[in-house]
Structure 1
Amino acid sequence: MSAGPDAQRAAVLRRELAYHGHRYYDLDDPEIGDDAYDALLDELRALEAAHPELLTPDSPTQRVGGAVVSELRKVRHRRRMLSLANARSEQELLAWVERMRAHLAREGIEDPRFEYVVEPKVDGLAMSLHYENGTLIRGVTRGDGEIGEDVTHNIRTIEQIPQQIDGAPAWLEVRGEVYMSLADFEALNLRRAEEGRSTFMNPRNSAAGTIRQLDSRLAAERPLSMWCYGIGETEGISFSTHWESLQWLRAHGFPVNDEIRRIRTAEKVVARCERWQERRGSLDFEIDGVVVKVDDVELQRRLGVVGRDPRWAIAWKFPPTTAVTQLHDVMWNVGKFGTLHPFAVLEPVHVGGVTVKLATLHNEEDLARKDVRPGDDVIVLRAGDVIPQVLSPAPHVAERSDRAPVPRPPARCPVCDTPTVKGEGVFTKCPNRDCPGRRWQLLQHYVSRGAMDVDGIGEKQVSVLMEHGLLRTPGDYYRLSAEQLMQLDRFGEVSARNAVEAIAASKERPFGRVLFGLGIEGVGSVTGRSLAQRFRTIDALTAASAEEIAATPGIGPIVGRLIHDQLRDEHLRAVIDDLRAHGVRMEEDGPPPGEGPLADKAIVLTGTLPTLTREEATERILAAGGRVTSSVSRRTDYVVAGERAGTKLEKAERLRVPVLDEDGLEALLRGAGDAGAEDDLRNT
């Protein structure tokens, strides 16, 4: 055979297989049977095996996987993949509509005629597909919205995704959600169980883990699907409405949910969202809400973006997931200040996508108010990634006459057996400062993120170090050597050396983080920074009166007295002296309050920024002389809003407080008040 006829036949087979695949997977209207489809596929496989030069990345034979990559390459999105603000009620959704009207009125657009597109919010992994002249060249995860990971080798294994599209523009970005259907998830777990392999926890985690596999053969074994919900960056094509773009996608073979609707009034949008909520349990894929978008693209452009959320779209979030299970026991943890915290030991129950065995009961006052007892059926709540909690007994429990006694705080510490005492407020305490439970909490708090942020030392490593007698006080961290750590479980040669280097680097943490890391009751991360700014050195702070400490912004007389009394404790003084001897920073090196480019500016942080952590952003603001406050008021100068910004952002818009994204904050830090810096601010 000559290469010419073989190449032509391979091209014909690829087109036929793509056509029949579209009719089968997308239209549910196949024209040929499975045997005929398999015969075409086998013929193409044979041709490619005989002539490897005919094999193309978009070939249907590559759906079964085969590519293995060494790492997931980072890719910057041409256009940011934004997050969505949330609404949880009719009032919040209607308030969103009014905010849009108010914004457009300021733009000179009075009484805009909104139409909306309502789509299911699939609980999967956001994906960006890149097509060049009609050929799929890349699949990229959302990542942080700016930069994602190249997972093209796994995207090609998803049958629903077209490898080639006819009549395509020069460049096309298609956005959607990769997910695993409930039926496919159950079948996958059944197959793995029969093979003696571990099963997966939930469909979303399975989809997210699968799409990031380095070996596409593993991805091909796990059935993934995709719903496409929009078009991003394009060259050579444009749309006047979002609805028009969805129809174009559907016509060109992309999977678009058939139940997406275009709706003319906000009231009907609410009804549609409530209908989705009622049907949630009957769907073959998991959704955690409904997305509502303004249909008109020009209005979208005029509405713009605030922080990392488009003003023209919102997610109607469903209520948190709950389940009923049996409470086996109430047990108690010891906190870093000796306070006893109750938690529930439960009959394992699947709720919110995970199996829950333990749940918080907050404190003894909350435990008494809820009146839950061992043996009760209880309602368990898991909202997103929040720690599961016990809400209340199940409704029928109150009718029982054989309930167990009301659980009480233990008379002796569950860790060190010291008699407990009832302190002020809602907590019973272990008064033993040397209680291993208290010491473990304090020691892992010292190295935690937001405090000294020591990478490589977590809860389990702290336990191992304590068990071997190497760790009793924070100063002991700085006495550790890599050679000591290498002899212990949980440490290898590389991790031991990295941990020692991270411990040494923590000596340079700002003074405010040191104060937070010391575990002083009443001193959180914000309070620690405020104290550092006001008193400048540890000596000045320990010499201050209770009244002087109370005068620090955000503290007050009760907490001021509490902090003052702890700073006079000999044990804490010894810890401070030990840390200072090891070179830990005990003074503030930023400008005093009232100095620096952000002097006297009050700034509120909300949501997740693209590159800066909350702690890093706070430190930079303080270093520039500004103040970071926790609530938005008319005295707030700026709100810095990131992804998943909540009610603080809404309040800022209502009070007309200027809102900045991370770029705007950077401009402000470079020189607040400059004309150039003002260009980067997002004012509402």
Structure 2
Amino acid sequence: MSPAEKPVDQLTPEEAGEELARLAAEIAENDRLYHLEDAPVISDAAYDALRIRNAEIEALFPELVRVDSPSLKVGPAPTGTFGPVVHARPMLSLDNVFSDDDVRDFVASVRRFLAFPPDQELVFTAEPKIDGLSMSLRYERRRLVTAATRGDGSTGENVTANIRTIKEIPERLPEDAPDVVEVRGEVYMRRDDFMALNQRMAETGRVFANPRNSAAGSLRQLDPEITRSRPLKFFAYAWGETSEPLGKTQYDVVRRFGDWGFKVNDRMVRCDSVEALLKHYHAIEAERADIPYDIDGVVYKVDRLDLQERLGFRSRSPRWATAHKFAAEKAMTVLNGIDIQVGRTGAMTPVARLEPVTVGGVVVTNATLHNEDYIRGIGNTGQPIRDGRDIRVGDTVIVQRAGDVIPQILDIVPEKRPADSKPYVFPDRCPVCGSHAVREEGEAVRRCTGGLICSAQAVERLRHFVSRNAFDIEGLGEKQIEFFFNAEDPALRVRSPADIFTLKERQERSLTKLENVDGFGAVSVRKLFGAIDDRRNIEFSRFLYALGIRHIGETNAKRLARHFIGFAALMETARAAEIPEGKGDKGNAAWQEINGVNGIGGVVAEALVEFFNESHNLEVVDALLAQVKVLDEERVGEVSSPVSGKTVVFTGALEKMSRDEAKAMAERLGAKVSGSVSKKTDLVVAGPGAGSKLKQATELGIEVIDEEQWFERVGNNL
């Protein structure tokens, strides 16, 4: 039986990887046929089944999620049919929260970043989260010139001709509108209109799965007249580039859109407390079924635009907004077993094997159990969850699709627990290689210590190393990595990253030739060796990401690369760093420099230092550096400001901004922020109470200014 024919819960990790690769390719091809060729070859139900299977496998094998996974795309890639539109300002997604406590944490984080005390007024807007298709409408001299989908956030599809058919979108704006303004919002379809459309579409043999898919499909018609026949509508709620300020608050700007002729949501309100936000959320949740269009939550945004500017953005989302998603649908079923999956970092993740049950229209057979504490009834803070109830094989459990995607077990039904049930004992040995499994102090995850001797980790680390956002070596897919890793002949064997770059040389010295192996050929081998040679020069951030260091993904790798510029400088600093031993210990200067990189905290810094102070890792890196050259990070996109390229240290009490805000501001202006003073420091901003750092700066002759002088220096660049 092929992997494609097996139930998800019967797949081995190797088969799951193969199946995810197949699904990614098949879904991408069907997307192309539907969006680009307008010639689908499978039904919506069959297409949905592909995506459901992909999501189920990813939930069961989270460590195998591919960089090209359909579940990771912000939106459909731009197609050649509609042409690309580069957004003047990125269309980012929102972070999600799922509970009242999550909302309290969000508001607290905003206050903390702004250094707002509890009694200082902080107003938010709250509005329904429309389940539609994001759209950006660009007006120049008050005329609609371009309409673009969100796409991947940076580049969308030009659907201007189709957007012009939507009656609720004005062709011209009134005279008080700016010369340039991008009005953003959501294209959607009411449920009653959707049902009527599907009745008509049924005659053609093709129907849409839901109103959102219907809206998206309608906008991607090659013939605008088809779009005109579809009952599409538009809510305006945000904006991109503007030639002049639109207002002082989120609420006022949206109301101004209404004055210009756009439809805005009448359920948008202002709230001055967490309690008010939650009250509005639960009120909308209660009337959700009566609202004539689909919504999947409530969006909260800081109302004042100057505060939004101060809060800024993370890599993919704004700090000043979040989406409070509605509770997922739930169901009860029986827990038949618990399996342990081993990820590429050695993390041992428990997975529940369930009696199949339908949750939100999807058949669920597996669910995450997070970690051993979660099974025992202990939360992340060490406090009891589920009133301390543990989870046992044979229990009747309550299953939820978290965020309507990833299944998880919320609780058990105590009265249905079998009399002979026993507490689950989490293994202290790796189920793959038998190595000892350890749990570090303060960690919730138990990890295999086998490293590269554990096939679960070694193969996955090599897959990660050659993945698209790492070394991106074409021709080294999952099957090829597994073949080379398991090869008995030393001339074909790849067990470490450096082995990839010695493969050609070993082949030339060996009687065993790769082109004679089934699945290869002279042309494919030549292309593979060429692809490997093309990666002998690699960007710093890609190289660092490829090493698979815990907590260092693409974003953190780029942050570290931008700060240290050269890989040797990073490795030297990490080798010299001393991790603090207690609360009173701040570590040495090397530690403080790493910990002071904007966006890099103690957890990431510790993982980096531990990696480069482990002899086994250094052997792997040194062997790799003998084969490849790591290029210095280019200083691209630097902001032109008085502090661009300078290393700045903030010390003492800051009165006009929090320390986090100061770091974010300096980084935005092109400066590097360090947590320690050294000869490389260019500027020290000292507030009241500055101590040893101020003294050290004075001794080194480094320029010192106060907070007021800082704002005078950078004022024109804010």
Q: With the length of structure 1 as denominator, give the TM-score of the two structures.
A: 0.57
1:473 is aligned to 2:470: no
The question of whether the paired residues in 2 share the 8 Å contact of 1:381 and 1:391 is answered with: yes
Unaligned stretches of 5+ residues in structure 2? 1-78, 378-388, 508-512, 582-586, 596-601, 675-680, 684-709
Once the two structures are overlaid, the 10-residue window that deviates more, 115-124 or 487-496, is: 487-496
Among residues 675, 678, 684, which one is paired with 2:714 in the alignment? 678
Among residues 295, 306, 312, which one is paired with 1:307 in the alignment? 312
Structure 1 pair 515–397 and aligned structure 2 pair: CA distance change class (3 A)? same
Q: Kindly name which structure, 1 or 2, has the bigger radius of gyration based on alpha carbons.
A: 1
Q: Give runs of aligned pairs for residues 234-249 of structure 1, distance below 5 A.
A: none
Q: Alpha-carbon deviation of 1:343?
A: 1.8
Partner of 2:47: none
Structure 1 pair 234–452 and aligned structure 2 pair: CA distance change class (3 A)? closer
Offset from partner CA, 1:22-61 (integer Å, 9 cap, x none): xxxxxxxxxxxxxxxxxxxxxxxxxxxxxxxxxxxxxxxx
Unaligned stretches of 5+ residues in structure 1? 1-67, 105-110, 592-596, 598-610, 628-632, 638-650
The question of whether the paired residues in 2 share the 8 Å contact of 1:455 and 1:499 is answered with: no
Q: Alpha-carbon deviation of 1:227?
A: 1.4
Among residues 153, 157, 173, which one is paired with 2:161 in the alignment? 153
Partner of 1:439: 458
1:137 is aligned to 2:167: no
The question of whether the paired residues in 2 share the 8 Å contact of 1:100 and 1:303 is answered with: no
What one-letter code is carried by the residue in structure 1 that aligns with 2:465?
Answer: Y
Structure 1 pair 235–484 and aligned structure 2 pair: CA distance change class (3 A)? same
Among residues 401, 407, 412, which one is paired with 2:418 in the alignment? 401
Partner of 1:24: none
Partner of 1:607: none
1:289 is aligned to 2:298: yes
The question of whether the paired residues in 1 share the 8 Å contact of 2:536 and 2:627 is answered with: no
The question of whether the paired residues in 1 share the 8 Å contact of 2:107 and 2:274 is answered with: yes
Structure 1 pair 231–475 and aligned structure 2 pair: CA distance change class (3 A)? closer
* SS of equivalent residue, structure 2 residue 352: strand
- Give, in whole Å, the separation in 2 of the partners of 1:337 and 1:577: 20
Q: Alpha-carbon deviation of 1:257?
A: 2.9
Among residues 363, 378, 386, which one is paired with 2:397 in the alignment? 378
- Give, in whole Å, the separation in 2 of the partners of 1:286 and 1:414: 43
Structure 1 pair 197–666 and aligned structure 2 pair: CA distance change class (3 A)? farther
- Give, in whole Å, the separation in 2 of the partners of 1:540 and 1:249: 52
The question of whether the paired residues in 1 share the 8 Å contact of 2:137 and 2:182 is answered with: yes
Offset from partner CA, 1:199-258 (integer Å, 9 cap, x none): 75x765665576467676886787643212367778999889877766675577543334
- Give, in whole Å, the separation in 2 of the partners of 1:521 and 1:94: 29
Partner of 2:324: 317
1:126 is aligned to 2:134: yes
What one-letter code is carried by the residue in structure 2 that aligns with 1:329?
Answer: G
The question of whether the paired residues in 2 share the 8 Å contact of 1:130 and 1:136 is answered with: yes
* SS of equivalent residue, structure 1 residue 161: coil
Once the two structures are overlaid, the 10-residue window that deviates more, 178-187 or 472-481, is: 178-187
Offset from partner CA, 1:634-676 (integer Å, 9 cap, x none): 6799xxxxxxxxxxxxx9747763532875236999x965999
Partner of 1:72: 83
Among residues 173, 179, 198, which one is paired with 2:188 in the alignment? 179
Among residues 640, 648, 664, which one is paired with 1:659 in the alignment? 664
What one-letter code is carried by the residue in structure 1 that aligns with 2:370?
Answer: H
Partner of 1:505: 535
1:271 is aligned to 2:307: no
What one-letter code is carried by the residue in structure 2 that aligns with 1:579?
Answer: L
- Give, in whole Å, the separation in 1 of the partners of 2:297 and 2:551: 37
Structure 1 pair 668–653 and aligned structure 2 pair: CA distance change class (3 A)? closer
The question of whether the paired residues in 2 share the 8 Å contact of 1:461 and 1:490 is answered with: no
The question of whether the paired residues in 1 share the 8 Å contact of 2:123 and 2:273 is answered with: yes
What one-letter code is carried by the residue in structure 2 that aligns with 1:276?
Answer: I
* SS of equivalent residue, structure 1 residue 74: strand
- Give, in whole Å, the separation in 1 of the partners of 2:143 and 2:161: 14
The question of whether the paired residues in 2 share the 8 Å contact of 1:129 and 1:175 is answered with: yes
Q: Give runs of aligned pairs for residues 148-547 of structure 1, distance below 5 A.
A: 148-158=156-166, 160-162=168-170, 173-181=182-190, 200=209, 207=215, 211=219, 224-229=232-237, 254-261=262-269, 271-280=279-288, 282-283=290-291, 284-291=293-300, 294=303, 300=305, 304=309, 306-308=311-313, 314-315=321-322, 317-318=324-325, 321=328, 323-326=330-333, 327-336=335-344, 338=346, 340-346=348-354, 358-369=366-377, 371-380=390-399, 388=406, 390-394=408-412, 396-401=413-418, 405-409=422-426, 414-415=431-432, 418-419=433-434, 421-423=436-438, 425=440, 427=446, 429=448, 431=450, 434-448=453-467, 452=471, 459=478, 462-463=481-482, 466=485, 471-479=494-502, 497=527, 501=531, 504-505=534-535, 507-510=537-540, 517-518=546-547
Q: Alpha-carbon deviation of 1:171?
A: 6.5
* SS of equivalent residue, structure 2 residue 294: coil
Q: Alpha-carbon deviation of 1:400?
A: 2.6
Q: With the length of structure 2 as denominator, give the TM-score of the two structures.
A: 0.55
The question of whether the paired residues in 1 share the 8 Å contact of 2:346 and 2:449 is answered with: yes
Q: Alpha-carbon deviation of 1:474?
A: 1.6
Partner of 1:583: 628
Partner of 1:13: none
Offset from partner CA, 1:270-327 (integer Å, 9 cap, x none): 5334422433455331232134564xxxx74697554249999755624664633534
Q: Alpha-carbon deviation of 1:502?
A: 6.8
Percent of aligned pairs with the same residue? 29
Once the two structures are overlaid, the 10-residue window that deviates more, 141-150 or 329-338, is: 141-150
Length, aligned pairs only: 549
- Give, in whole Å, the separation in 2 of the partners of 1:325 and 1:129: 45
Structure 1 pair 167–504 and aligned structure 2 pair: CA distance change class (3 A)? closer
Structure 1 pair 363–117 and aligned structure 2 pair: CA distance change class (3 A)? closer
* SS of equivalent residue, structure 2 residue 286: helix
- Give, in whole Å, the separation in 1 of the partners of 2:207 and 2:518: 29
What one-letter code is carried by the residue in structure 2 that aligns with 1:70?
Answer: T
Q: Alpha-carbon deviation of 1:424?
A: 5.4
Partner of 2:385: none
Q: Alpha-carbon deviation of 1:499?
A: 9.4
Q: Give runs of aligned pairs for residues 608-647 of structure 1, distance below 5 A.
A: none
What one-letter code is carried by the residue in structure 1 that aligns with 2:462?
Answer: L
What one-letter code is carried by the residue in structure 1 that aligns with 2:670?
Answer: L
What one-letter code is carried by the residue in structure 2 that aligns with 1:372?
Answer: I
- Give, in whole Å, the separation in 2 of the partners of 1:668 and 1:429: 36
What one-letter code is carried by the residue in structure 2 that aligns with 1:285?
Answer: D
The question of whether the paired residues in 2 share the 8 Å contact of 1:376 and 1:403 is answered with: no
Offset from partner CA, 1:105-130 (integer Å, 9 cap, x none): xxxxxx99x99765323243332224
* SS of equivalent residue, structure 1 residue 276: helix
- Give, in whole Å, the separation in 2 of the partners of 1:221 and 1:229: 25
Alignment RMSD = 6.5
